[in-house]
Chain A
Amino acid sequence: MLYELTHVTKRYTQRGKQIDALAGIDLTIDEGEFLAIQGSTGSGKTTLLQMLGAMDRPSTGRLEFEGRDLAKMGEGDLSELRSHSFGFIFQAFNLIPTLTAQENVETALVPWRTPSEERHRRAAEALEGVALADRARHIPSELSGGEQQRVAIARALVRAPRVIFADEPTGNLDERTRDDIIGLLEQLWRERGQTLIVVTHDTWVAGRASRRIWLDAGRVEAPSADDRPGVDAAAGPIREPVLQA
């Protein structure tokens, strides 16, 4: 078991009002899983992802990664964990606009103080792995949305992390590109055996996962797709509206 969450909550204060982004999550995640986290807007999907990715700490509860409680770790230790064990893919790609594709991939190796020669080599290999070697010297504004997301995937994978987190990785992409990106993620997941946790509102994307959970108002509502009313996992790609009522 890679993760064990016990009654994890997250509370924010916004303009004097208390907001419970997570209202008590109990969840386990095994190594090598491809987990899809679904839910409507504001259900707490991204917050849960950030907790799992050690980008934020729970307000209450236990969040264990390999037996270590992330809630009790200092910022320095969390930073170490992120740099050694986790890779991130964001909806908006979050590439550094002034750096080339290769340099963006290299930013993931900076915390490791990798010598520059090795850094260049590994970044080039990672780009090759996502079929973007010929675009290595282009800056993000010169790349298409799909190409930018491939660069982000290369950046996430260059350190061979234990867990890859993808927050709406296809949210800004057209259908065809979405299929390419998810196909690529799935292929890499199968080849490398990494744990892949994807937040998505897209049922088709979620259908590619080995397990799906549904969040509603900060709680896990349905542990599997079969329990989710109105969703037929066997029916193939189903397009749900981006915004849930």
Chain B
Amino acid sequence: MFFTYVYRELRRRHRQALLTALGLAVGVALVVAVTAYADGVATAQDRVLQSLYGVGTDITVSQQRKMDEGGPQRFSMQPPDQQKQGKKFNRSAVMTSPGQQSISEKKLEQIASLDGVSAATGSISMNVMSVKGTFAQVQGGSSGGAQPGVQQSGGGSSSAQQSQMQMAPIDVSSLTVSGVDTTDLALGPLSSAQVSSGRSLTSDDASAKVALVTRAYAKQNALGVGDAKKIDGRSFEIVGIVALPSGSTSSDVYIPLKWAQTLSDNKNKVNQIYVKADSANDIAAVKKAIKLTMPKATVTTSSDLASQVSGSLSSASSLADRLGTWLAIAALLASFAVASLLTVSGVSRRVREFGTLKALGWKSRRITGQVLGESLVVGIVGGLLGVALGVLGARLIAALSPALKATMGSSMQLPQGGPPGMAEAIGAAAQTVTVSLTAPVSLQLVGIAASLALAGALIAGAFGGWRAARLRPADALRRVD
């Protein structure tokens, strides 16, 4: 009798039942879509943060260098004598990351031994600038010496040096290199790298002249496993080609830390430390301990980085947090209210019917159960519809969303009149990562959404059933339809 009555009643009022289900569905769909959007933004943020300093890193430590420390890099391109006129030259210079001061490995060891630290490793990142070309051939006149093919400063020459210089092209190239601790690649710049051919570096490679190159760099320069790559005059064998997550900042080449220290003249030093905490709860304490160990260091956690991220990804995250959550809650409450009102309205039209059943001896809870049963069916339909609409909405968000950008600004203070080229290098320190937004719908989210629909239906049914059952039969029968 129960199921027959529920089925027949819903069939009779199928329009109202569908409308109630639709009301629930809209609320549920919004919850699914907004939660999927928020999850997608969070995933994108995680990807951004991971690409900035790799998977598994909880804290990074670096030390800023004052701009007036050290000197500009100079290339000596003057040929020793006139015999070099017309001869080729190739010079390179290694520069550690602008703005980053070296940190001794002793400090690294101190940090590794702090309470709450699971592991710590260091790296050196550097730029290798190469200049190659041909010394200019001077024709006629007496000149002091052959000049390289770069333009002389100061403008015109004296009449005594009225001579023609045959200008030759000069190639300037730059290469980013990172020196990594080959004994612990799970932490540091290569933690999220995937080897696409060859092999990765191992602890046996600590002193070897071997290198990994990124896939993009290898393609650009037609390099493969087994090829040699010269870095500041030294030849490194390429043992593997790696791919890093899209949008991540990476160097072109990765070599063992010892060789990077040698090339950059930073023996027993690093310029970036990566720290993994024992647990997420230890991060704050570890950060504090590192600051005590290195008061002048910049100690950054993932949440610090997250707060520094600007750009459309950051805006999307704010939107999801502030507007999205409240919108979903408001929509859900509204759909519950609509479902309740429609249910109560339907029950009001059946007051005489319920009064008759009470007159026949049906107990109040039996009548409430009947209304609840009808509401439950509506809730199931509403939940299924809502999940379907929500998944569709999430797919649309993912399909129509533009790629989002996240920018991590550099905190370097540039003094006036810095050396040429430094501005470009500093600009590189402000990293922009582009990520595509997804809107994943997990089974857990589907389960929660369906439960919300059922909960809404049960609330509506309970309220309606209570209204129906509380009337005395005489009062109910007194009502005029």
Contact = CB atoms under 8 A, between A and B. Distances in A.
Interface in A70-86: 75-76, 79-80, 82-84
B8 interface: yes
Most buried by B among A97, A98, A103: A98
A83 B477 CA distance: 17
A131 interface: no
Nearest to B470: A75
Contacts of A80: 361
Contacts of A79: 358, 361-363
B8 A111 contact: no
Interface in A95-127: 96-99, 103, 106-108, 110-111, 116, 119
A143 interface: no
A96 B358 CA distance: 13
A98 B8 contact: yes
Interface string A36-54: 0000000000010010010
B88 interface: no
A56 interface: yes
Given A79-B362, A107-B362, 4 more contacts: A75-B364, A79-B361, A94-B477, A99-B5
A1 interface: no
Interface stretch (B142-150, B349-357, B412-420): B349-357
A82 B12 CA distance: 29
Which 10 residue pairs are nearest across A and B when measured between Cβ atoms? A83-B361, A98-B8, A56-B474, A111-B361, A55-B473, A94-B356, A50-B474, A55-B474, A82-B361, A98-B12
A214 interface: no
Contacts of B475: 56
Nearest to A81: B361
A108 B361 CA distance: 8
Interface residues of A, number: 29
A90 B474 contact: no
Interface in A172-200: none
A55 B356 CA distance: 10
28 contacts: A47-B474, A50-B474, A55-B358, A55-B474, A55-B477, A56-B475, A75-B364, A82-B358, A82-B360, A82-B361, A88-B359, A88-B360, A94-B353, A94-B356, A96-B5, A96-B356, A96-B357, A97-B12, A97-B353, A98-B5, A99-B5, A99-B8, A103-B4, A106-B1, A107-B360, A108-B361, A111-B361, A111-B362
Nearest to B7: A98
Nearest to A155: B360
Contacts of A56: 472-475
Contact of B352 (A55, A94, A155): A94
Interface of A: 47, 50, 53, 55-56, 75-76, 79-80, 82-84, 88, 90, 92, 94, 96-99, 103, 106-108, 110-111, 116, 119, 155
Nearest to B361: A83
Nearest to B356: A94
A182 B116 CA distance: 93
Contacts of B362: 79, 83, 107, 110-111
| Chain A binding surface SS class | helix
Given A94-B352, A97-B12, A53 B360 contact: no
Interface string B439-457: 0000000000000000000
A82 B359 CA distance: 7
Nearest to A76: B363
B219 interface: no
Contacts of A94: 352-353, 356, 477
Contacts of B473: 50, 55-56, 82
Contacts of B363: 76, 79, 111
Contacts of B357: 96, 107
Given A84-B361, A155-B360, A90 B477 contact: yes
Nearest to A111: B361
Interface residues of B, number: 24
Contacts of A116: 1
A107 B477 contact: no
B1 A110 contact: yes
A111 B359 CA distance: 11
B9 interface: yes
Given A79-B358, A79-B361, A83-B361, A98 B472 contact: no
A144 B8 CA distance: 21
Contacts of A84: 361
B11 interface: yes
B366 interface: yes
A97 B9 CA distance: 9
A90 B353 CA distance: 12
Given A50-B473, A56-B474, A94-B352, A99 B361 contact: no
Most buried by A among B12, B357, B364, B477: B477
A128 B404 CA distance: 76
Interface in B167-195: none
A92 B359 CA distance: 14
Contacts of A96: 5, 353, 356-357
Nearest to B6: A98
B9 to A, nearest CB: 5
Interface in B329-361: 352-353, 356-361
Contacts of B361: 79-80, 82-84, 108, 111
Nearest to B359: A88
Nearest to B9: A98
Contacts of A155: 360
A80 B362 CA distance: 9
A106 B1 CA distance: 8
A110 B472 CA distance: 19
